[in-house]
Structure 1
Amino acid sequence: MGFKLKKPDDAVGSAAPAIIIGLFVAFGGVLFGYDTGTISGILAMKYWRDTFSTGYRNPKDGEPDVTAQQSSMIVSLLSAGTFFGALAAGAIADRVGRRIAMIIDSGVFVFGVILQTAATAIPLFVAGRFFAGLGVGLLSATVPLYQSETSPKWIRGAIVGSYQLAITIGLLLAAIVNNATKDRYDSGSYRIPVAVQFAWAIILVVGMLILPETPRFLIKKDKHEAATKSLARLRRLDINHPALVEELAEIQANHEYEMSVGQASFLEILRGTLGKRLATGCAVQALQQLAGVNFIFYYGTSFFQNSGIKDGFIITLITNIINVVSTFPGLYMVEKWGRRPLLLFGAVGMFVCQYIVAIVGTTTSSVVANKVLIAFVCVYIFFFASTWGPVAWVVTGELFPLKARARCLSITTATNWLFNWAIAYATPYMVNAGPGNANLQSKVFFIWGTFCLVCAVFVYTCIYETKNLTLEQVDELYSKVRFAWQSPGFEPSLTYTDVRDMAGEMKGATLEDLEASAQEKRAEHADHVETTTKV
């Protein structure tokens, strides 16, 4: 098999432009990760707690602090904003295009950053968190959409997965900046980490002013000449190259066939194989959150400190470094190993680690126990970052036909953020001590671990293997293969150009009937050519 990812022999043109563009667009994930990561450290900063406290004092040290309810609201409002942003992303991306949508998304994010930077009390800070979340939610649905529509099939998984890598880099950068400002006793302690986000948004906007629109969106809008130029730029081929013409014709034919059998209404995307794919996408995004990783990145600093670990900031920095480094093997293995095996491997590994952390944290409280807790949290992060972190975005980016891709991706991403919000909101009540709180502490890892076991069952029964298939061939996979565990080894045999030609003659026929008729006509044509040649 070899270690290096090798371009297939049948892949014509250069993949370099699409890879470079896809990796740059992943920069939107830095906004996501950094904004998520800053809040964990900010909530633990003394100056911030003194300034934003409304009279409550922490029972552990008697210092001014925010209540569990306030902490829950501050953290979860970002996720609430992202939920509504993700829901709106599909409509915006389908109306103005994937490229312009990302510029608009970044502007919304910047507005939220301005409010947070200016804030000296909880209401304005919370408003800023909401609008920043709105921008992040818009981007989180649009970035994988852009990547999946521009990437060659043989490396699409790694490119879409790089979005998660950018998220981990954003989390790491947040941990570094937080660690650098945490000891300041002035507004710079939290304003510097928040204001740094202006730089990430500016970089993304400048890039999107230069990059091309996706050819699939342009086909959807009947802009064939623009789609040809865009694909030629992405594949570094002449606009008249046969391979380019063939790829565009297949995209066009697939879109026309999909539109002929139904529009992308909300009712349509809930029925048939499209409804099955939407349910799969929503479930994989929900389970990515229920695996518990954001508990560590939202509340990790406070959790480690409450567990008796002296410098929670340093531990958080270490876990973020592991998160970044561990994503790289996932980007490699998603193409070499495939989506299903990698997700199964990750689910089992996370389950084991979570239960060990829960058992150790619940039964003992010593220096050795703390070291074991930290070690297995780090191993858990390795399993998540190399599997469910990037591959959840890969799976959802590949599931849907062109007519419904933006709308369905917005719904699946909104599901991710809905569960992200629920976990961010509920965690302080689940973990912390105090009246009305569950005071689970390390026992909360039993909950995350159980969901990891659910992840393993879900992957086996519901995740189809889409490695090395074009986005159009994924439609064929779902139309022909009934059960997910039968999908490995599937070989596409359908050409949508032929199906489109037959659809007009056989109205109401199934996809299988159209394909059979097209193959029969090709065989007749071949026999005719052979007979003519002999004569």
Structure 2
Amino acid sequence: MYQASNVYVICGFAAIGGGLFGFDISSMSGVIGTMAYKRYFGNPVSSVQGAITASMPFGSFFGALISSFIADRYSRRTAIQFSCTLWIIGSILQCASNGIPMLVVGRAISGICIGIASAIVPVYQSEIAPKEIRGRIVTLQQWAITWGILIQYFIQYGASFVGGGPNDPNQPETAFRIPWGLQMIPALILFFGLFFLPRSPRWLASKDQWDEAIQVLADLHAGGDIDHPKVLAEYQEIEEALRFEREEATSSMRALAAPRMAKRVLLGMSIQTWSQLGGVNVLMYYVIYVMEAADIGSPMLTASIQYVINVLLTLPAIIYIDRWGRRPSLLLGSLSMMIFFFITGAIQAVYGQHVIIEESNITWVVRGNKAASGAIVACSYLIVATFATTWGPASWCYPAEIFPSKVRAKAVSLATASNWFWNCILSFAVPPMLYHINWRMYMLFGTFNGLALIHIYIAAPETKGKLLEEMDEVFDGGRRAWESQPKGSRLDDLARGIAEGTMLPPARAYKGIRVEKEIKRDSVGGGRSSSTVSLQPYHAHCEAEP
């Protein structure tokens, strides 16, 4: 069967899993303002609407927790395909829902899919991508999320005009059934397309499928040449890392609890936690409420602009994250969002007033002041723009690359579970918060961003340009997080040495034979070295295969 070998094609296609995440985020934002939804589901009060919205991240929390067991046993690719199946089932239940209970069950099942995909897609991408563009590749996940949000929102926006429009008291149910039904299409495409993508070479190596592992590396990085110096060097790094992990003879769960690894696990979980407590999903899930509180006349159209901004402003991160790094992105993002949330809260406090609006979850509105309303909308756009360029991409990239192969899937699943835990809490809590504490909610999120700024500064070292197998040196090398890391990578030196003939390539297994390179030098002193490939039985100095 044909298998793709272009890294951008492979990881870009896998990022459709992120698109499902985006469909999840905006799956309610467009329909909650329609009369069809309010009439059919009994105009849910703030706490009930919060529970409906939270049902999907609730499922995602458990999906993230189980994701590593599926991915480690059956492969990253198979885990993503399993998640697609769950998404299709959940979408069918949502589309056919006859009341709130069935809707909640459908959203929870879809949530399990999102938990698995959001944990494993970045792992798959990071294990496929070369170190030079790993940040860019994993950032495709975030870009796909933004596209999913945008596409789903505009599907809902278009469907809201079914019948007499969103304010028609007799609007038909198709206004919300169409968006919930169409969202299964990307999952179908992803499920079947994954058959044409390779399995992770690092997962293959962990299962001792070395022939296929080195062939995948060769296809990805050297046009199929298994004797390319870069392929041999990366193969050796993977082999040595796995040998070291096996010599430790500890289970992956016990390895997670080791002090040096627990520090990294806590950091990965914290980064995903801060990405939620930073508050941007308030503007994604409940942007209609935010616009209503700013007294915007056409909240659905005004809200759509932020989704376009989200897509466009993720592009700079894709292009430059491997140049400017993960750490500066996180620090700058926290600082900027802190400022914008504080400004939004201050404007709401000064110019807003308490109101009672029938059939509304909003009790605090800025009225009669277009400048103040415009400033609130502008700040919401700036928060989304900042997140799209900084925390959005970096919060997925960083946890996916800081763990060794043995614990990577489990550690990333824990980090992703923390994301979904807080996503669930906020999905449920934001409507009551908007109802009861109003503008103080924005101050709370501004404070969280300030705390994230301090934490990232003292705990998160830079990881750009490093091989996945070099992260132990980054975190355990004795340098503080704010101190510069040595430039370059061990992989570059090893590949250069193999190419120049000054280093022996790794002995590798190939169909029961050891393939080695014999280093030959010209008899003339100082002559250039050359190498030839020879197929030989095991040498006495080579370690026998397990």
Shared fold (TM-score greater than 0.5)?
Answer: yes
Whether contact under 8 Å (2:294, 2:376) holds in the other structure is no
Counterpart of 1:182 in structure 2 is 160
Counterpart of 1:128 in structure 2 is 106
Structure 2: how far apart are the matches of 1:74 and 1:175? 18
Counterpart of 1:47 in structure 2 is 36
Letter in 2 for 1:37: S
**Within 5 A, what are the aligned runs for 1:477-492?**
477-489=474-486
- Partner of 2:482: helix, strand, or coil? helix
Counterpart of 1:164 in structure 2 is 142
Deviations 1:437-461 (A, max 9, x none): xx22232110111111111111111
Correspondent of 2:196 among 210, 213, 236: 210
The 1:494–1:262 alpha-carbon spacing in structure 2 relative to 1, beyond 3 Å, is farther
- Partner of 2:252: helix, strand, or coil? coil
Deviations 1:106-135 (A, max 9, x none): 001111101000002101001000000011
Shift in Å, 1:196 = 1.1
Shift in Å, 1:496 = 12
Shift in Å, 1:408 = 0.5
Whether contact under 8 Å (2:56, 2:107) holds in the other structure is yes
More off after superposition, 300-309 vs 71-80 = 300-309
- Partner of 1:194: helix, strand, or coil? helix
Matched, 1:276 2:263: yes
- Partner of 2:27: helix, strand, or coil? helix
Counterpart of 1:390 in structure 2 is 393
Structure 1: how far apart are the matches of 2:251 and 2:274? 26
Letter in 2 for 1:347: S
Letter in 1 for 2:13: F
| Structure 1 portions without partners, runs of 5+ | 1-14, 54-64, 433-438, 498-528
Counterpart of 2:421 in structure 1 is 418
Matched, 1:196 2:182: yes
Structure 2: how far apart are the matches of 1:355 and 1:384? 16
Deviations 1:336-366 (A, max 9, x none): 1111112111111111111111111111132
The 1:496–1:426 alpha-carbon spacing in structure 2 relative to 1, beyond 3 Å, is farther
Shift in Å, 1:307 = 3.1
Letter in 2 for 1:39: M
- Partner of 2:227: helix, strand, or coil? coil
Letter in 2 for 1:129: R
Counterpart of 1:473 in structure 2 is 470
Whether contact under 8 Å (2:133, 2:322) holds in the other structure is yes
Counterpart of 1:8 in structure 2 is none
Counterpart of 1:376 in structure 2 is 379
Structure 1: how far apart are the matches of 2:52 and 2:483? 45
Correspondent of 1:84 among 62, 78, 97: 62
Whether contact under 8 Å (1:253, 1:496) holds in the other structure is no
Report the structure, 1 or 2, having the larger strand content: 2
Letter in 2 for 1:93: A
Structure 2: how far apart are the matches of 1:263 and 1:491? 31
The 1:80–1:88 alpha-carbon spacing in structure 2 relative to 1, beyond 3 Å, is same
Structure 2: how far apart are the matches of 1:108 and 1:355? 40
Runs of 4+ in 1 over 3 A off after TM superposition: 487-497
The 1:441–1:261 alpha-carbon spacing in structure 2 relative to 1, beyond 3 Å, is same
Whether contact under 8 Å (1:80, 1:418) holds in the other structure is yes
Whether contact under 8 Å (1:333, 1:342) holds in the other structure is no
- Partner of 1:484: helix, strand, or coil? coil
Counterpart of 1:246 in structure 2 is 233
Correspondent of 1:462 among 449, 459, 471: 459
Correspondent of 1:31 among 10, 20, 42: 20
- Partner of 1:237: helix, strand, or coil? coil
Structure 2: how far apart are the matches of 1:243 and 1:332? 24
Structure 2: how far apart are the matches of 1:262 and 1:401? 14
Shift in Å, 1:164 = 0.7
Whether contact under 8 Å (1:237, 1:244) holds in the other structure is no
RMSD: 2.0
Structure 2: how far apart are the matches of 1:19 and 1:113? 29
Shift in Å, 1:40 = 1.3
Letter in 2 for 1:351: M
Report the structure, 1 or 2, having the larger helix content: 1
**Within 5 A, what are the aligned runs for 1:269-308?**
269-308=256-295
Identity %: 33
Whether contact under 8 Å (1:250, 1:496) holds in the other structure is no
Whether contact under 8 Å (1:83, 1:137) holds in the other structure is yes
Deviations 1:63-99 (A, max 9, x none): xx11122101100010000000000100000010011
| Structure 2 portions without partners, runs of 5+ | 163-170, 352-365, 495-520, 527-546
Counterpart of 1:222 in structure 2 is 208
Deviations 1:412-434 (A, max 9, x none): 000100010011111111111xx
- Partner of 1:186: helix, strand, or coil? coil
Structure 1: how far apart are the matches of 2:290 and 2:462? 37
- Partner of 1:127: helix, strand, or coil? helix
More off after superposition, 479-488 vs 93-102 = 479-488
Shift in Å, 1:303 = 2.6
- Partner of 2:29: helix, strand, or coil? helix
Whether contact under 8 Å (1:175, 1:313) holds in the other structure is no
Letter in 1 for 2:241: N
Counterpart of 2:310 in structure 1 is 323
Counterpart of 2:497 in structure 1 is none
Shift in Å, 1:239 = 2.2
Whether contact under 8 Å (2:467, 2:489) holds in the other structure is no
Shift in Å, 1:262 = 4.5
Structure 2: how far apart are the matches of 1:389 and 1:492? 26
More off after superposition, 136-145 vs 300-309 = 300-309
Letter in 1 for 2:115: G
